[in-house]
Amino acid sequence: MSVKIFPALALLVGHALAVPSPSIKIGRASAQAFASTSDLAYKLSAVDAPVSGAGNPGSASQWSLRIDDTTAGYKQTITGFGGSVTDATVTVINALPSDQRSQLLRELLASDGANFSLLRHTIAASDLSGPPAYTYDDNSNNADPNLDNFDLGDRGEAMAELLTEMKGIRSDITIFGSPWSAPGWMKQNRVLTGDATDNWLDSQYYSQYAQYFVKYLQAYEGLGVTIDAITIQNEPLNNQGNGHVTMYQSADEATMVTQDYIGPALRAANLNTQIWAYDHNTDTPSYPQEVIDGAGEYVGATAWHCYASDLNWTVLSDFHNANPDKSQYMTECWTSPQTSWYQSSRNTIGPLQNWAEGSLMWTLGTWTEASDGTFGPYIEGGCSTCRGLFIVDQNAGTYEYTVDYYMLAQFSKYIPKGATILSGSGSYSYDGYSGIQSVASKNPDGTRTVVVENTFGNDIYLTLNTTGGEQWSGNLLANSVTTWILP
């Protein structure tokens, strides 16, 4: 890392006004650059492209990065980026007029839009569902050992139909599902919400729990959408009472249920659905390791969240070194007016630097902010201040994107499914997360993408050197994420 920092430098003036980002020209012989800034003066906007060579930094602060664009530097292959289709997302999308709704879905999924290619969906209720909480076999909370009363219900069908429509827009999208709880009658405490005591599976219903997944997958398939993967429990170490939908699941139980019940049940039903382990924070990597050690034949990946108090994405590199044949994904990170402008970029770039094959923020959509500072729809005890990547004004019948959407789209729009992440060096953040972080990819069309997050309050002149013998340089706007597309 070579750095010359002048923290007092103000945001330079004189840049061209932000303009909408044009479509990338595949095979283009010259470089391109696009940027989004914290104040949204730039939103995926075309900016001055990097130049070949050292350029002219003048008196600007300078930074150097290096990428290995030779085959020796090839790392993981990208599955995609996106967010979670919660009940809140379904509700707000379906509230839009048909023309706005169609436009929104295309902008989210198409290659000339955000190019999202990885989606998580909630299996029945989550904290971002309108009340009441529900599962696909509540049966008035009476035991249903044969699952005779399994029923997606109106909300489950609406979810499946929206996912089918989204897959119709983008056929290669990867979709995985996560439940917040088993039906209440399957749990020791016999309730879906309201009591954290004995809030875990009753062992006599392990077989029914496995068949619950089979029936859900088959029901969604019947409505036109194949679910590619599941996690068997969202945040298994998060055990809450009140109205929040949760269920505790220990690592040894998750291992046993995966190995002896869910894995075999999926296989017996001829379902090719992957199981991804864990779906929780980076501070307990022993949990997914135990699941892989005991049920690895059924587990294809590990899913991580961003909520560890001492968040350190290098845990994923350690985990990769121990399990090089297993994929990893960052599957949840909330966005809100309470989070920083770089919430989605920081929690995408960190996982990508450490072998993640994709990154998702929490809910795709919510309502606009209410007068009491809440968004929603949400369930009592759920996340009332979670804000979507887009927000819908129900009265106006319109939608708008948040800063979190634009920062995530700096990756998703320009690092396509099938791209290969490259080794790199030179990223560094000071205390308080001021600094430069970057990740690069080699794309299927032969181009290279370099995404750089600048969390300094001043412009930075960046020089990028490649192992292949090239040098590129150009300006990074203050408090921005900038994407370079190199030929």
Q: Which residues pair with 258 in a beta bridge?
A: none
DSSP string covering 257-284: HIIIIIHHHHHHTT---EEEEEEEETT-
Range scoring the smallest mean pLDDT among 15-19, 161-165, 401-405: 15-19
pLDDT at 1 over 50: no
Tell me the C-alpha to C-alpha distance, in Å, between residue 309 and each of 165, 238, 305, 312, 384.
Answer: 38, 14, 11, 9, 21
Enumerate the active-site residues.
235, 332
For residues 126 and 423, what is the distance between their CA atoms, to the nearest angstrom?
Answer: 37
Joined together, the tokens standing for residue 126 give 């989550």
Percent of the chain with pLDDT over 70: 94
DSSP string over 72-83: GGEEEEP-EEEE
Are 144 and 80 within 8 A, CB to CB? no
pLDDT at 14: 31
Q: What is the pLDDT of residues 268-293, one digit of tens each?
A: 999 999 999 999 999 999 999 999 99
Tokens of residue 289, six digits = 């390791």
Q: How far apart are CA 386 and CA 307, in angstroms?
A: 14
Pairing label, strands 435-442, 448-454: antiparallel
pLDDT, residue 3, reads 37
First to last CA, the chain: 24
Q: Which of 377, 375, 403, 376 is nearest to 389 (CA)?
A: 403
Query: Can you tell me the mean pLDDT for 45-57?
Result: 96
Q: What is the mean pLDDT of the chain?
A: 94
In angstroms, rounded to a whole number, what is the distance separating the alpha carbons of residues 192 and 243?
Answer: 9
Q: What pLDDT digit, counting tens, does each position of 421-471 carry? A: 999 999 999 999 999 999 999 999 999 999 999 999 999 999 999 999 999
Residue 337 confidence class, pLDDT cut points 50, 70, 90: very high
Taking the C-alpha atoms of residue 145 and residue 200, their distance in angstroms, rounded to an integer, is 17
Which residue is listed with tokens 């034949």? 297
Q: What is the mean pLDDT of residues 188-196?
A: 94
**Helix or strand or coil: residue 342?**
coil
**CB distance 442 to 430 below 8 Å:** no
Alpha-carbon span 464 to 405, nearest angstrom: 26
pLDDT per residue as tens digits for the range 199-250: 999 999 999 999 999 999 999 999 999 999 999 999 999 999 888 999 999 9
How would DSSP label each residue in 154-183?
Answer: HHHHHHHHHHHHHHHH-TT-EEEEEES---
Model confidence over 364-380: pLDDT tens digits? 999 999 999 999 999 99
Tell me how crowded residue 54 is: count the other CB atoms within 10 A of its CB: 11
Judging by DSSP bridges, how do beta strands 174-179 and 229-230 pair with one another?
Answer: parallel
* Contact status, residue 248 vs residue 200, Cβ threshold 8 Å: yes
The yes-or-no verdict on residue 180 having pLDDT over 90 is yes
Q: Are 19 and 12 in contact (CB under 8 A)?
A: no
Single-letter code of the amino acid located at 470: E
Average pLDDT over residues 32-44: 98
DSSP lists the bridge partners of residue 175 as: 119
Instruction: Tell me the whole-structure pTM to 2 decimals.
Output: 0.93
What ranges make up the beta strands (E) of 344-389?
A: 358-363, 365-367
Beta strands 480-486 and 448-454 are antiparallel
Number of Cβ within a 10 Å radius of residue 268: 11
Q: Nearest to residue 63, comparing CAs of 382, 446, 473, 487?
A: 473
- The 8-class DSSP code of residue 256 comes to H
Residue 30 CB contacts under 8 Å (≥ 6 apart), including other chains: 49, 487
Burial 206-233 (b: 16+ CB within 10 A, else e): bebbbbbbbbbbebbeeeebebbbbbbb
Distance CA 37, CA 475 (A): 13
Contact 425, 66 (CB under 8 A): yes
Average pLDDT for 61-86: 98
How many whole angstroms separate alpha carbon 388 and alpha carbon 97?
19
Does residue 7 carry a pLDDT above 60? no
pLDDT at 242: 83
At 28 the pLDDT is 53
